[in-house]
């Protein structure tokens, strides 16, 4: 029987080096107590933020020291809890850390409302009197920009204090889907029992036997029906939370509130949806081509992930994937490439799936730690691309952290998804240009097309779903599991017009954790479009373009996202960058069609 190993069965070299943060849990506990004891130090500055330039500098430095330590404590706890969501000790540690972070945010919540008592000229005078404040000038601009949406000190403190409660729907969903749910076991064509999991579902949907794919599809989505009301309630409450918090801050819609945070114009969202909607013929062509490659009359939902490349998919070991990914980023410069290789040797990555481990993949870390990447590596081409993706995030963090002061060391997701997808795109070029094995090449091309489909088209479909479910609440309607099904089915039918949309796929919304992140997924779509444009420029112009891109990665939050991408050569106000990506997708479809007809 194929089974998922326990955490203790995984080799230490394939686990991330969390001991680099805290050597022991006792050290974490001591740090936790120290941070908790220091939170009250902020209270001495309440009501005094604008007292003098010196007082403001002291407060900002105190807040930085505190929040940096809070981030380290929280990150360690959250990463430990991700290793095995069944471990109650680490779940409790994570919950305590979340509560600590909420307390710290609440204690610091007076800073920005008091800063907003000043105007631009006042702040300029403060900077002139205290030069150390000069590095905060963009931060001050961002604070003043949010003035119309900042409430009184009491309301801001309350909202900050409630943050660990307002995240409840997302946390409940995460625990339900990762820790509590057990998926069925199905028999594969060789008579071997295969346990379905969140981590391997997509891989199983790529198996060549169509009947097996159907059985996996049906068993997987039938299991979700058993928690239908719970998941539906969690998502409904998450949407209501988004709407109420937006209204609390004087926004007309939750979308406006979400996009205003990083200062992304709402028009960018509409441009994405409208441009992709106008070019669904590319996706429909992909679906038709897949039906031809699979030699089926009707493309079904369990066929969507099946590869168009003929033959068994190649196995790509983790070690092989690391070699390919490191080689692929050579166009970004020696320093970038060497730093990535060093990080992989320093156990940035938690490589393999284990029982209870959080599904999917992510990159995490703080200003004071190395990056940490969670993977559920499956020895396939898709996992290799996921590794490249997450390393893009990690390298972005490395370059930003070494170049920016703490207050600018983070970066907005709108930019982050560019960094990750640039690495994926470079990997595609590298593999297609250097690998001689025709079978590998076909599967790489197929992987590129699938990732493009799922990143640009699927995430845009998700973005439209998010918009519609929020509009239901904003217009006074009600969200139920049946309503979610209806809205999702309609979108799936539009986007995948040549395929048969069945009842089970209408429940797909139940397995998407990103819907709890509040207008998050559209940035995957804009990211892949911008990344395509950036890689095209690097391949055409060489080191000058690569230097511009590296500089953009170093900017962090010292500028707004549109300005950061402009530094890399992308104008996000023009739909042309999305159309360029779609054109590239079309060219790859042409190439795949030739390969299908040649076999």
Q: Which is nearest to 224 in space by CA: 213, 238, 235?
A: 235
Q: Is the dihedral of CA 553, 554, 555, 556 positive or negative?
A: positive
Q: What's the CA gap between 448 and 8, in Å, rounded?
A: 34
> What's the CA dihedral at 522, 524, 527, 531 to 10 degrees?
-150
| Candidates 83, 98, 353, 390; catalytic one | 390
Tokens of 574: 């023009």
What are all long-range contacts of 400-405, with beta carbons under 8 Å and residues at least 24 apart? 400/553, 400/554, 400/555, 400/556, 401/367, 402/554, 403/554, 403/555, 403/556, 404/554, 404/555, 404/556, 404/557, 404/558, 405/135
Residue 498 CB-density burial (10 A; 0-12 exposed, 13-18 middle, 19+ buried): middle
| Residues whose CB is less than 8 angstroms from the CB of residue 101 and which lie 6 or more positions away in sequence, other chains included | 70, 71, 74, 163, 164
Q: 3: buried, middle or exposed (CB in 10 Å: 19+, 13-18, 0-12)?
A: exposed
User: How far apart are alpha carbons 440 and 432 in whole angstroms?
Assistant: 9
Rounded Cα distance between 138 and 555, Å, is 12
Question: ∠27-30-33 over CA atoms, to 5°?
Answer: 150
Nearest to 262 by CA among 118, 146, 397: 146
Return the closest-CA partner of residue 146 out of 101, 109, 183, 102: 109
Q: How far apart are CA 265 and CA 391, in angstroms?
A: 28
Tokens of 546: 């690569």
The H or E element that residue 264 is part of is none
CA–chain centroid gap for 275, Å, is 22
Chain CA centroid to CA 476, Å:
30
Q: Is 274 a catalytic residue?
A: no
Residue 263 φ/ψ region, left for φ over 0, alpha for ψ in the -120 to 50 degree band, beta for the rest: left
Active site positions, annotated: 390
């Amino acid at each position: 029987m194929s089974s998922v190993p326990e955490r203790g069965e995984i080799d230490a070299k394939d686990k991330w080096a969390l001991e680099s943060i805290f050597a022991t849990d006792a050290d974490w506990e001591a740090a936790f107590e120290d941070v908790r004891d220091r939170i009250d130090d902020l209270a001495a500055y309440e009501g005094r933020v604008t007292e003098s330039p010196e007082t403001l500098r002291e407060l900002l430095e105190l807040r930085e020291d505190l929040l940096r330590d809070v981030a380290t404590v929280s990150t360690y706890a959250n990463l430990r809890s991700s290793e095995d969501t069944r471990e109650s000790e680490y779940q409790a540690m994570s919950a305590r850390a979340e509560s600590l972070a909420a307390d710290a945010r609440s204690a610091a919540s007076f800073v920005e409302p008091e800063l907003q008592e000043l105007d631009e000229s006042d702040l300029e005078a403060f900077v002139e009197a205290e030069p150390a404040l000069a590095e905060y000038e963009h931060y001050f601009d961002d604070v003043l920009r949010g003035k119309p949406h900042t409430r009184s000190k009491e309301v801001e403190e309350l909202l900050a204090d409630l943050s660990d409660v307002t995240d409840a729907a997302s946390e409940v969903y995460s625990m339900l889907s990762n820790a509590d749910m057990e998926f069925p076991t199905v028999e594969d064509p060789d008579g071997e029992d295969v346990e379905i999991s969140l981590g391997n579902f997509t891989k199983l949907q790529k198996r060549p036997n169509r009947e097996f794919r159907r059985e996996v599809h049906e068993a997987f989505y039938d299991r979700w029906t058993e928690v239908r009301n719970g998941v539906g309630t969690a998502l409904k409450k998450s949407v209501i939370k988004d709407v109420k918090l937006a209204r609390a801050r004087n926004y007309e819609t939750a979308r406006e509130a979400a996009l205003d945070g990083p200062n992304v114009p709402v028009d960018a969202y509409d441009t994405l949806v409208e441009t992709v909607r106008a070019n669904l013929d590319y996706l429909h062509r992909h679906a038709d081509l897949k039906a031809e490659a699979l030699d089926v009359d009707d493309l079904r939902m369990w066929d969507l992930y099946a590869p168009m490349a003929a033959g068994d998919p190649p196995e790509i070991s983790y070690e092989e994937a690391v070699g390919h990914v490191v080689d692929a980023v050579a166009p970004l410069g020696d320093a970038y490439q060497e730093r990535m290789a060093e990080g992989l040797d320093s156990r940035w990555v938690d490589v393999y799936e284990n029982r209870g481990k959080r599904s999917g993949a992510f990159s995490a870390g703080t200003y004071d730690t190395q990056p940490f990447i969670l993977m559920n590596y499956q020895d396939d081409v898709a996992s290799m691309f996921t590794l490249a993706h997450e390393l893009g995030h990690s390298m972005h963090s490395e370059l930003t952290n070494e170049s920016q002061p703490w207050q600018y060391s983070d970066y907005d997701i709108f930019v982050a998804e560019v960094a990750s997808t640039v690495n994926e795109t470079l990997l595609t070029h590298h593999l297609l240009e250097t690998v001689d094995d025709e079978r590998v090449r076909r599967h790489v091309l197929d992987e590129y097309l699938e990732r493009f489909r799922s990143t640009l088209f699927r995430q845009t479909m998700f973005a439209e779903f998010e918009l519609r479910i929020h509009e239901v609440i904003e217009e006074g309607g009600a969200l139920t599991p049946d309503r979610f099904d209806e809205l999702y089915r309609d979108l799936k039918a539009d986007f995948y017009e040549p395929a048969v949309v069945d009842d089970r796929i209408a429940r797909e919304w139940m397995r998407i954790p990103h819907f709890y992140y509040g207008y998050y997924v559209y940035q995957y779509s804009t990211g892949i479009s911008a990344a395509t444009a950036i890689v095209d420029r690097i391949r055409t112009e060489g080191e000058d373009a690569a230097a511009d891109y590296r500089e953009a990665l170093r900017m962090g939050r010292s500028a707004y996202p549109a300005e950061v991408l402009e530094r890399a050569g992308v104008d996000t106000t023009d739909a042309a960058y999305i159309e360029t990506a779609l054109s590239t997708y079309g060219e790859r479809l042409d190439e795949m069609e030739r390969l299908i007809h040649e076999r």
